[in-house]
Chain A
Amino acid sequence: MLVLHGLQSFNADSVFLGALAERGLAFAAPALPGFGGTPRPEQFDGVEDLVMSCLDLIDDLGPEPIALVGLSFGGWIAAEIAVRCPHRLERLVLVDALGIRVNSRETPDILHLFNEPAPVVAHATWAAPAHAPDFAAMPDEAVVTYARNREALCRYGWRPYMHNPRLKRWLHRISVPTLVLWGDQDGIVSPDYGRAYADAIPGARFELVGNAGHHPEIEQPQLLAAAIAAFLTQAQRREVA
Chain B
Amino acid sequence: MQAWYICEAPYPFIDRAVIDAHGSARANLPSRYCDPRRAADIFHEVLDEFLLCDELGINVISNEHHSGINCLHSASPLFLGILARQTRNVRILSLGTLITVRDDPVRVAEEYATADVISRGRLDIGFVKSGGSEMASGNANPVGINERFWEAIDLIEAALRHRDGPFSWEGRHFHHRHANVWPSCWQNPHPPFWAATGDPETGRELGRRGYVHTVFASGAERTIRAWDAYREGSSEMGRSAALDRFAYMGFTYVGETDEEAWEVARQLLWFLEVGDIAAPHYSSLLPGQIPPEVAPKLYRAAQAADEVAHAGRPPQGRTPMTVQDAIARGIMFAGNPDTVRRQIADFHAKVGGFGHLVLMGRSGMMTHAQTETSIRLFGREVLPRLQELAPRLVA
Residues of A at the B interface (CB closer than 8 Å) are 45, 114-119, 134-136, 140, 143-144, 146-148, 150-151, 153-155, 158-159
Q: Give the contacts of B264-298 with A (CB-CB under 8 A).
A: 279-282, 285-288, 292-293, 295-296
Q: Which residues of A contact B319 (CB under 8 A)?
A: none
Among A135, A144, A153, A154, contact of B303 (Cβ-Cβ < 8 Å): A135
Question: Can you add 18 more A-B contacts, CB < 8 Å, to A118-B281, A147-B295?
Answer: A114-B142, A115-B282, A117-B306, A118-B302, A118-B306, A135-B299, A135-B303, A143-B296, A144-B293, A144-B295, A146-B299, A147-B292, A148-B292, A151-B287, A151-B288, A154-B141, A154-B142, A155-B143
CA distance A119 to B293 in the complex (A): 23
| CB contact between B295 and one of A45, A114, A143 (< 8 Å): that residue | A143
Are A114 and B299 in touch, CB under 8 angstroms?
no
Q: Residues of A contacting B171 with CB < 8 Å?
A: none
Contact indicator B143/A151 (Cβ below 8 Å): yes
B160 contact set on A, CB distance < 8 A: none
What is the minimal beta-carbon distance from B281 to any residue of chain A, in angstroms? Answer: 5
Once the chains are docked, how many angstroms separate the CA of A153 from the CA of B136? 16
Residues of A within 8 A of B299 (CB): 135, 143, 146-147
**For chains A and B in complex, what number of residue pairs have CB atoms within 8 angstroms?**
70
| Contact of A140 (CB < 8 Å), options: B139, B296, B304 | B296
Contacts of A143 in B (CB 8 A): 295-296, 299-300
Bound complex: CA of A64 vs CA of B260, how far in Å? 83
Structural contact, B302 and A158, CB atoms closer than 8 A: no
10 interchain pairs (CB within 8 A)?
A45-B144, A115-B136, A115-B281, A118-B280, A119-B310, A136-B300, A140-B296, A143-B296, A158-B142, A159-B141
Could you tell me the distance between the alpha carbons of A75 and B306 in the complex, rounded to whole angstroms?
Answer: 31
Residues of B close to A135: CB separation below 8 A: 296, 299-300, 303
Q: Are A154 and B281 in contact (CB under 8 A)?
A: no
How far apart are A215's CB and chain B's nearest CB, in angstroms? 18
Render B139-155 as a binary contact track against A, CB cut-off 8 A, 1 for contact. 11111100000000000
Check B296–A154 contact: CB distance below 8 A. Answer: no
Give the nearest-CB partner of A45 in chain B. B144
- The answer to whether B23 has its CB under 8 Å from any CB of chain A is yes
Please measure, in the bound complex, the distance between the C-alpha atom of A153 and the C-alpha atom of B282, giving whole angstroms: 16
Q: Is the CB of B310 within 8 A of A150?
A: no
**A114/B300 in contact, CB under 8 A:** no
Give the distance to chain B from A17, nearest Cβ to Cβ, in Å. Answer: 24
Kindly state the separation between the CA atoms of A146 and B23 in the bound complex, as whole angstroms: 24
Closest to B301 in A: A135
Most B CB contacts (10 A, CB to CB) among A116, A117, A148 go to A117
**Minimal Cβ-Cβ distance residue in B for A120:** B281
* Chain B: interface residue total (CB-CB under 8 A): 28
Q: What's the least CB distance linking A159 to chain B, in Å?
A: 6
Which residues of chain B are within 8 angstroms of A119 by Cβ–Cβ distance?
306, 309-310
Given A45-B144, A143-B296: A155 touches B139 (CB 8 Å cut-off): no
Determine whether the beta carbon of B303 is less than 8 Å from that of A136. yes
Task: Report how far A118 CA is from B142 CA in the complex, Å.
Answer: 17
Contact A114/B287 with A140-B296, A143-B296, A151-B292 known, Cβ cut-off 8 Å: yes
Is the Cβ of A155 less than 8 Å from the Cβ of B287? yes
The answer to whether A150 and B141 have CB atoms under 8 Å apart is no
Q: Does A158 contact B296, Cβ atoms closer than 8 Å?
A: no
CA distance A45 to B279 in the complex (A): 27
CB neighbours of B295 from chain A (8 A): 143-144, 146-147
Of A114, A118, A158, the most chain B CB neighbours within 10 A belong to A114
CB distance from B178 to the nearest CB of A (A): 24
Closest to B286 in A: A114
Q: Within the complex, what minimum Cβ distance (angstroms) separates B311 from chain A? A: 12
- Residues in B neighbouring A147, C-beta threshold 8 A: 287, 292, 295, 299
A146 to B287, CA, bound (A): 11
Q: A117 near B23 (CB under 8 angstroms)?
A: yes
Q: Which residue of the partner chain, among A118, A136, A155, A158, contacts B285 with CB atoms under 8 Å?
A: A118
Contacts of B287 in A (CB 8 A): 114, 147, 150-151, 153-155
Instruction: With both chains docked as a complex, state the minimum distance between the C-beta of A105 and any C-beta of chain B, in angstroms.
Output: 14
Decide: A116 and B281 in contact? CB cutoff 8 A.
Answer: yes
Chain B residue numbers with a CB within 8 Å of A116 are: 281
CA distance A223 to B362 in the complex (A): 62
B144 and A144 form a contact (CB under 8 A): no
CB distance from B238 to the nearest CB of A (A): 29
B279/A158 in contact, CB under 8 A: no
Set of chain A residues within 8 Å of B292, measured between Cβ atoms: 144, 147-148, 151
Bound CA–CA A117/B280 (angstroms): 7
> Which residue on chain A has the smallest CB distance to residue B305?
A118
Residues B141 and A155 in contact, CB atoms below 8 Å apart: yes
Set of chain B residues within 8 Å of A154, measured between Cβ atoms = 141-143, 287-288
- Nearest chain A CB to B130's CB is how many angstroms away? 14
* Contacting residues, chain A, for B142 (C-beta < 8 A): 114, 154, 158
Bound form: Cα–Cα A150–B287 in Å: 6
A182–B143 CA distance with the chains assembled, in angstroms: 30
Given the complex, which residues of A lie within 8 Å of B141, measured CB to CB? 154-155, 158-159
Complex interface: chain A residues within 8 A of B136 (CB): 114-115
Specify which chain B residues have a CB less than 8 angstroms from the CB of A148 in the assembled complex: 292
CA distance A89 to B282 in the complex (A): 41
Residue of A with least CB distance to B280:
A118
